[in-house]
Structure 1
Amino acid sequence: MWTFLPSGGLRVTGADRVDFVQGQMTGDLRGAATPGMVACAFLNVRGQIEQFARAYKRADDVYLHLDAGQAAPLLARLKRYVIFDQVELQDVSDDLRTVHIWNAAGLPGWNMDGPDAQSFELGGGVVLAGRVNRTGTPGVDLHYLARHEAAVLAALDGEEASLDTLDAARVRAGIPDIARDGFLGVLPQEVGLNVDGPLPAISYRKGCYVGQEIMARLEARGNTRYHLAQLAGDGWDVGAAITHAGKVVGQAGLNAGGLGLARLRKDLPEDAEVEVNGIPARLQSLNARP
């Protein structure tokens, strides 16, 4: 099966491309292999997520794969930090398309034992592929030129699965999607991006970046007030307030297949009765508390 992913992307070239992006993102791009891929966030000075991306490190460029609508604001942000850096920034959102391959075993050109980022010929052109877990089992995000779309899709095995079907699988597996779950504007550790979370995207050893001081304080303190949890229920909107005993205790992510992820207070009892915009919900699972 494969699923279209609403996407955007930036291409960064120039002699200083790796060091420049390294100084903005939470992941350790410099320490990654070439080719390689690093999940990361771009934070504000308060340590809150502005964008989430997967950074592909290649021999000649860095490709930042983002959710739809995120490329333009990240491009504007990065341009503000270009001073003497030898870099060029390009929004390639209109030129590229992305699908997620649920099971890459039958993907022509993909080496199951190879690196997390690979390039190979498919559908009359060169594609970029990255090993990504979106369903609880690692699959592949496949990036290709829009003009090659018909040929690329014809080369894929299996049928198309809707984005709703993919969302239901990832929510069931407890894997957040930062933009689709409405988790922008919060601390990475609160929504599963910590080193031991379901979507690790932070390095505490990589050096300075915007928001790094806050991350260092959180590492030293050892916890946050909120963490990623799962709710059973249906019928609420992304970002809806979660309440317990009349008090707001969190915010809901996307609801899919009778489940939803949530940013929830850690001090909430596991048997607590909660509501999401007045709709009863049940705590399905909570991350282990430190």
Structure 2
Amino acid sequence: MPYTRLPSSALRVTGADRLDFVQGQMTGNVKAAPTPGLVEGCFLNVRGQIEQVARVYRRADDLYLHLDAGQAEPLAARLRRYIIFDQVELQDVSSTLATVHLWNEALSGWDPRGPDAQSFELGGGTVLVGRINRTGTPGLDLHYLQAHETAVLAALDGEERPLEALEAARIEAGLPDVVQDRWQGFLPQEVGLERAVAVRKGCYVGQEIMARLEARGATRYQLTRLSGEDLPPYTDVTVDGRVVGRTGASTGAHTLARLRKDLDPGQPLLVGQRPATFLPDAQPAS
């Protein structure tokens, strides 16, 4: 089966108050997840803007927070600012764990009809596996001890694909990645992360802004995709010299973009100096 190694970081949260504490920090409803279970959520500032995004695995004895590379340390620093009387311990396990993404769900030990998070034996050790869509089709994130990597990868018995191929598939599918697209500082709803916001859960940092957006029903920006030739990433999108958005990551032919919703799909767009058009299935609402 094809797989790709994911540059990652991770936090392990333990202690009697771990569930209440993390629940009060993120937009996802980890309390609603089964055990084992998996929830995606954003960690916001008081203005409702994204600081970090994590996939949180709820397990019997801990919470495992899987993040992009380099994100565990700043998230741990943020969380420690809010620990007052809470019985919570944070452990950065980035140096001991590794992750690969399997491009499909064909893995021995994985039950496709089971929950989104499962643990079982593979390659001589216990692995944690989560159902994650990174390409437009559900696949699996496989977390394991780095010491077991040789045995785990041998058990996969598949072709390794480069990270660039996984990124291209993600962009083609129109799936956001806050770190790779550099969406930190934006509202979740502006960059395609509505799914990571549980609007009916209790209070958390930034919740008041999320409630206002829910009541108003819309943001001024949304995530879309553009097509063109040699489209640059992380570049202003303009219409008649007016900045109307910004691109995220790009394959050259396609790029994700945070764009104003009031644009006419027929308007000529420029990404830097390169002309671009809306993809047919990704036009902003008028």
> What amino acid does structure 1 have at the position aligned with 2:119?
S
The alignment's C-alpha RMSD in Å is 1.2
1:282 Cα deviation from its structure 2 partner: 1.4
Choose the corresponding residue for 1:238, options 233, 237, 247. Answer: 233
- SS for the counterpart of 2:270 is strand
Match of 1:126 in 2: 126
Match of 2:285 in 1: 289
Choose the corresponding residue for 1:225, options 220, 229, 234. Answer: 220
1:170 Cα deviation from its structure 2 partner: 1.4
* Number of aligned residue pairs: 284
Match of 1:68 in 2: 69
Structure 2 spans left out of the alignment, 5+ residues: none
Match of 1:252 in 2: 247
- Seen in structure 2, the aligned counterparts of structure 1 residues 140 and 257 have a Cα distance that, compared at 3 Å, is farther
Match of 1:93 in 2: 94
Structure 1 spans left out of the alignment, 5+ residues: 195-199
Instruction: Tell me if 1:212 matches 2:207.
Output: yes
Instruction: Tell me if 1:41 matches 2:35.
Output: no
Write the distance in 2 (CA, Å) between the matches of 1:31 and 1:129.
19
> What amino acid does structure 2 have at the position aligned with 1:137?
T
Match of 1:25 in 2: 26
> What amino acid does structure 1 have at the position aligned with 2:243?
V
Q: Verify the 8 A CA contact 2:232 2:252 in the aligned structure 1.
A: no
Instruction: Tell me if 1:59 matches 2:60.
Output: yes
Match of 2:113 in 1: 113
> What amino acid does structure 2 have at the position aligned with 1:74?
L
Q: Verify the 8 A CA contact 1:244 1:273 in the aligned structure 2.
A: yes
- SS for the counterpart of 2:180 is coil
Which runs of 4 or more aligned residues in structure 1 lie more than 4 Å from their structure 2 counterparts after TM superposition? none
Sequence identity of aligned pairs in percent?
64
Write the distance in 1 (CA, Å) between the matches of 2:267 and 2:164.
29
Q: Verify the 8 A CA contact 1:228 1:287 in the aligned structure 2.
A: no
Q: Verify the 8 A CA contact 1:33 1:57 in the aligned structure 2.
A: yes
Write the distance in 2 (CA, Å) between the matches of 1:242 and 1:130.
35
